[in-house]
């Protein structure tokens, strides 16, 4: 099982039947492929849809029905469309149960940085700030370290924040870490063949070890 699959499978276990979920591009989107049995979720796409379905067949593809990345998709029975103001009303108003996003950095106070690297790349925040501010539960799904092997989980984010104190759970290829209310990180679960020491070494902030520390439940 590769890193992406480990993360996606574990994230999927966070979903409960009936949840309205907004998934970021990349690993978060994969999570929808691994829903636990009996769990149905409704995908919100911030460009204006609830009940987003799979990618559209090429002969059905239209620019009038796309996902937030601009890719032609479908809508499932029971879905509906709305404009951007309503879409972010749903997001900001707490009508999205969970959002899963990638991160450049996330820190011990639940702060998240995922939208810009000063002097390098400023693509804009798109809908990320509203999603992280408004969704009832914010889950970060990412590789535990960056391409240089440096920790992405820090005591304090150095990059400009997306939102302050909103992350509840961090799911990586190595571990599941929860953020305590008021701050502080708790190591909750370990990926297969990963040790507590390895996670501590690759994390840039102190980790409390949960008394219920367990293996990630990602069996097929």
By the rule CB under 8 A, 34 interacts with another protein? no
Number of residues that bind another protein (CB under 8 A): 59
By the rule CB under 8 A, 105 interacts with another protein? no
By the rule CB under 8 A, 36 interacts with another protein? no
State CA 61 to chain mean position distance. Answer: 27
Tokens matching residue 81 = 């469309």
By the rule CB under 8 A, 156 interacts with another protein? no
Of 122 and 196, which has the nearer Cβ to another protein?
122
Query: Contact region for another protein (CB under 8 A) — 73-81, 139-147, 196-204, 205-213?
Result: 73-81
By the rule CB under 8 A, 82 interacts with another protein? yes
State CA 45 to chain mean position distance. Answer: 14
Closest of 112, 90, 101, 102 to residue 42, by C-alpha: 90
Question: Of the candidates 37, 57, 63, 149, which one interacts with another protein according to CB under 8 A?
Answer: 63
Of 113 and 174, which has the nearer Cβ to another protein?
113
Question: Of the candidates 6, 91, 103, 142, which one interacts with another protein according to CB under 8 A?
Answer: 91
Beta carbons within 10 angstroms of residue 19's beta carbon: 18
Residues 115 to 154 in contact with another protein, rule: CB under 8 A = 121-130, 133-134
Establish whether 201 is a catalytic residue: no
Query: Contact region for another protein (CB under 8 A) — 87-95, 144-152, 187-195, 204-212?
Result: 87-95
114 contacts 145 by C-beta, under 8 angstroms: no
Question: Of the candidates 69, 192, 206, 217, which one interacts with another protein according to CB under 8 A?
Answer: 69
Query: Contact region for another protein (CB under 8 A) — 45-53, 178-186, 196-204, 212-220?
Result: 45-53
The rounded distance, in Å, linking the Cα atoms of 78 and 205 is 44
Q: By CB under 8 A, name the binding residues for another protein.
A: 17-18, 20, 40, 42, 44-51, 62-66, 68-70, 75, 77-85, 87-95, 111, 121-130, 133-134, 160-165
Active site residues: 46
């Amino acid at each position: 099982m590769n890193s992406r699959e480990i993360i996606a499978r574990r994230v999927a276990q966070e979903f409960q039947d009936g949840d309205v979920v907004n998934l970021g591009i990349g690993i978060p989107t994969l999570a929808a492929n691994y829903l636990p049995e009996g769990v149905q979720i409704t995908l919100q796409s911030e460009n204006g849809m609830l009940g987003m379905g799979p990618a559209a067949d090429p002969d059905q593809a239209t620019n009038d029905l796309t996902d937030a990345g601009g890719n032609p998709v479908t809508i499932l029975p029971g879905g509906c469309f709305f404009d951007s103001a309503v879409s972010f009303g749903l997001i900001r108003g707490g009508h999205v149960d969970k959002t899963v996003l990638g991160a450049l950095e996330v820190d011990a106070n639940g702060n998240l940085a995922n939208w810009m690297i000063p002097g390098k790349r400023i693509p804009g925040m798109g809908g990320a700030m509203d999603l992280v501010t408004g969704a009832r539960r914010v889950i970060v799904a990412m590789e535990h370290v960056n391409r240089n092997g440096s920790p992405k989980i820090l005591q304090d984010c150095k990059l400009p924040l997306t939102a302050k104190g909103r992350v509840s759970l961090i799911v990586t290829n190595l571990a599941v870490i929860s953020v305590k209310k008021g701050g502080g990180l708790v190591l909750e679960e370990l990926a297969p063949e990963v040790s507590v020491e390895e996670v501590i070494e690759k994390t840039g902030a102190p980790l409390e070890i949960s008394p219920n520390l367990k293996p990630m439940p990602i069996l097929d």
